[in-house]
Structure 1
Amino acid sequence: MNKYESIANLLKQHIRDNTYPIGSLLPSQTDLADQFQVSRMTINKAINILTMEGFVSAQRGFGTKIMNRPFWNKNVSPVDQYNGLSAEMRQLNRPIESQIIDFNVDFPDADEQEHLTLTAQQPIYRIIRLRLVDHEPYLLEHTIMPVELVPNLTDEILHHSIYDYLQNKLGLQIAGAYRNIQAAKPDELDMKYLKCQPDDPVLEVAQMVYLKNGQPFEYSHSRNRYDKRSFTELNLRK
């Protein structure tokens, strides 16, 4: 992530948590450049992102005003988000809960060995969790992680945030994720836990997440209710 994208994300967080209230003016580009110890050009690029996403409106001579019309609603996630659903919901001040459907240790099949660069003898966790947001079924996660990379995983951790455990307890540094998003039909678990009807579409997100050393540590498929979640992507010219 470029510096200006990191600054844009931080400014969006400040807008969401009301550090910069709606209707107020964003600090000047000079003040922001001093605050973040970057050039005004970097700040300008960050503000351009906020403008394109509807968080602010910049007018020459009048400053940059905080708006109340971002181009996505509370159910839309950035497609490049890889800090985990718990972190995403915390930014939006939405309560999240985790219900464990299945949690066991197994050995990887050929497909899982290929994706996670494992041998047949290296054990993995198989995890199925129902994630509830605002106390409503939100998505069903099917996750596979190498036991060697994520030791001592417990029910207590699964009831909260795996990514918090990875980053804050194990000190792992997450580099990014590769995602494939497609429509699917609901299966029996979707209908049972997500309360889907047989003819409801499901948004399936297949995800590979990598550490900064290039090692994949998560191979997962999340099943999202069609009326609860969608994804957005902002393409920037470098």
Structure 2
Amino acid sequence: MIQYKSVIVMKKNKFLTIYNDLSLQIRQGVFQPNDLLPSEHELSQQYKTSRETIRKALNLLSEHGYIQKIKGKGSVVLDVSKYDFPVSGLVSFKELTQQMEKRVRTIVHELQLVKPDDDIRQYLEASAKDEIWKVVRAREIEGEKIILDKDFLHRKFVPLLTREICENSIYEYLENELKLKISFAKKEMFVDKVTDEDRKYLDVGGYEHIVVVQNYVYLEDASLFQFTESRHRLDKFRFVDFARRTH
């Protein structure tokens, strides 16, 4: 019985395996922008599966902005290098950088429990009696500190945080250890003047402005548990989202 179930699961998820393999090849440059992917027939032979399974994998690639399917031509590979740091989506820095193949480091400058000031009480819908984790981290990529993340998390949802957790991945800890179900986020983006804090923790160079992305993050039961402000050096990130109109 166990063996039978595992076979069923493997067949059910085979299109995801193919999607992951093809998307990885596109990100790694095996297929370049404007290249054509092999035909459905060629892919079905390569992966030893049905054309219907291949079609599901290609549809997923299309939905996520990896390819454009053109009638009479095939599946054209799109330029995905712009999508490494999307504004939309809810993923951790660790998850994003795992796809970048660059040297990255997280530097924790501050980790403490604080009483929320007026701004944080408003952002997190907290009371003056609540305790809030404050985490300030610089993100270094290829030797340059170019992102400053300032996280504020309700202690009632996150009883404990350590420097080691913050250096690795807070979301990985929340989901795998605390079993919290992070569901959705509201985001705001704007350009702000560089602050003394930015200059202290980032390699801002001669820039006078910085891109700010604010996140209000909710659990599955719609509880607001985290407010994050990410401050990005202007020249290093283009915030690009991929959208496809449905008919």
Tell me the TM-score normalized by structure 1: 0.78
Higher deviation after alignment, 120-129 or 9-18: 9-18
Instruction: Find out whether 1:56 has 2:64 as its counterpart.
Output: no
Match of 1:234 in 2: 242
Match of 2:53 in 1: 34
Q: CA deviation at 1:33?
A: 4.3
Question: In structure 2, do the counterparts of structure 1 residues 189 and 111 end up closer, same or farther at CA, with 3 Å as the change threshold?
Answer: closer
Match of 1:3 in 2: none
Q: CA deviation at 1:71?
A: 5.3
Tell me the TM-score normalized by structure 2: 0.75
Instruction: Find out whether 1:25 has 2:37 as its counterpart.
Output: yes
Give ranges in structure 2 of 5+ residues lacking alignment.
Answer: 1-15, 45-49
Task: Give, as a single letter, the amino acid of the residue that structure 2 aligns with 1:176.
Answer: F
Q: CA deviation at 1:132?
A: 0.9
- CA–CA distance in structure 2, aligned partners of residues 141 and 48 of structure 1: 32
Question: In structure 2, do the counterparts of structure 1 residues 27 and 78 end up closer, same or farther at CA, with 3 Å as the change threshold?
Answer: farther
Task: Give, as a single letter, the amino acid of the residue that structure 2 aligns with 1:64.
Answer: S
Match of 1:209 in 2: 217
Q: CA deviation at 1:110?
A: 3.3
1:154-185 superposed Cα distances (whole Å, 9 cap, x missing partner): 01111111111111111112112111111111
1:23-80 superposed Cα distances (whole Å, 9 cap, x missing partner): 6735739847437xxxx5x666534445xx4x43545456435x4x515447x51111
- CA–CA distance in structure 1, aligned partners of residues 176 and 51 of structure 2: 29
What value does the CA root-mean-square deviation take over the aligned residues? 3.1
Do the aligned residues in 2 keep the contact of 1:138 with 1:229 (CA within 8 Å)? no
Task: Give, as a single letter, the amino acid of the residue that structure 1 aligns with 2:40.
Answer: S
Of 150, 160, 175, 1:152 maps to 160
Task: Give, as a single letter, the amino acid of the residue that structure 1 aligns with 2:213.
Answer: V
Question: In structure 2, do the counterparts of structure 1 residues 71 and 157 end up closer, same or farther at CA, with 3 Å as the change threshold?
Answer: closer
**Greater C-alpha radius of gyration:** 2
Task: Give, as a single letter, the amino acid of the residue that structure 1 aligns with 2:95.
Answer: A
Give ranges in structure 1 of 5+ residues lacking alignment.
Answer: 1-5
* Percent identity of equivalent pairs: 24
Do the aligned residues in 1 keep the contact of 2:36 with 2:74 (CA within 8 Å)? no
